[in-house]
Structure 1
Amino acid sequence: MTLKDMLFAVSLFPYLGFLYFLTRSPETPRLALIGFYLLLLFVVVTIPAGIYAQVELGESLANVDWLHGSAEFFLTLSNLVVVLGFREAVKDTLGTTETTSPPDEF
């Protein structure tokens, strides 16, 4: 196991702690919380995809476009859900409705 692999494995513990405390906070927007949990799905999908690329195709995951893109989809999905969750929370906090035109002043 390389140093890079060990650091990756160890980095999961702080993230799991982050999720633990975020889950316990009643102020966390539910949709954003789901997005942060979806990031774990990205990790769960990426690890086997990387192993498959290395063992079966003899390439790094980054060099197998269809497989890399499929795994990265879950990262994009988690980011989108986090943003939508916080967007909803901001809208609720401000008590405004969505407008179609930009504000006149900045």
Structure 2
Amino acid sequence: MAKETLFAVSLFPYLGFLWFLTRSGQTPRLALIGFYALLVFVAITIPAGLYAKTAYGANLADVDWLHGGAESFLTLSNILVVLGFRQAILDRQLSPMLEP
């Protein structure tokens, strides 16, 4: 199976993951935004890869400024997920202290 096909097919399980995560109502909001932001990374990576191929005749990973720009969206989504779960942990640790 070609890597492009595998990449496209992998979106369907991820969309299912997002659907269940959203419906559960138990995921911290900021973390959920981070998981959705990963779709922005995918949406940026595909055209960046096509541009790298047509403009430079190279893979996206070989065009540093394009690759770094696309990867910054992955970094941002990871930061949002971590901060969201961090806040949920801190809130949970603080909530027993607030009870009478």
- Normalised by the length of structure 1, the TM-score is 0.86
Bigger proportion of residues as helix: 2
Letter in 1 for 2:20: F
Q: Distance in 2 between matches of 1:91 and 1:59?
A: 45
Q: Distance in 2 between matches of 1:93 and 1:54?
A: 48
- Normalised by the length of structure 2, the TM-score is 0.91
The answer as to 2:15 corresponding to 1:16 is yes
- Structure 2 partner of 1:99: none
How far the C-alpha of 1:39 sits from its partner, in A, is 0.3
Q: How big is the alpha-carbon RMSD for the aligned residues of Structure 1 and Structure 2?
A: 1.1
3-state SS, counterpart of residue 32 of structure 2:
helix
29-38 vs 56-65, which moves further: 56-65
Q: Among the aligned pairs, what percent are the same residue? A: 68
Q: Distance in 2 between matches of 1:4 and 1:64?
A: 19
How far the C-alpha of 1:73 sits from its partner, in A, is 0.3
Q: Distance in 2 between matches of 1:12 and 1:75?
A: 15
Letter in 2 for 1:41: V
How far the C-alpha of 1:80 sits from its partner, in A, is 0.2
Q: Distance in 1 between matches of 2:3 and 2:62?
A: 18
- Structure 2 partner of 1:100: none
Alignment of 1:30-69 (within 5 A): 30-69=29-68
How far the C-alpha of 1:87 sits from its partner, in A, is 0.2
Gaps of 5+ in 2: 96-100
How many residue pairs get aligned? The number is 95
How far the C-alpha of 1:3 sits from its partner, in A, is 1.7
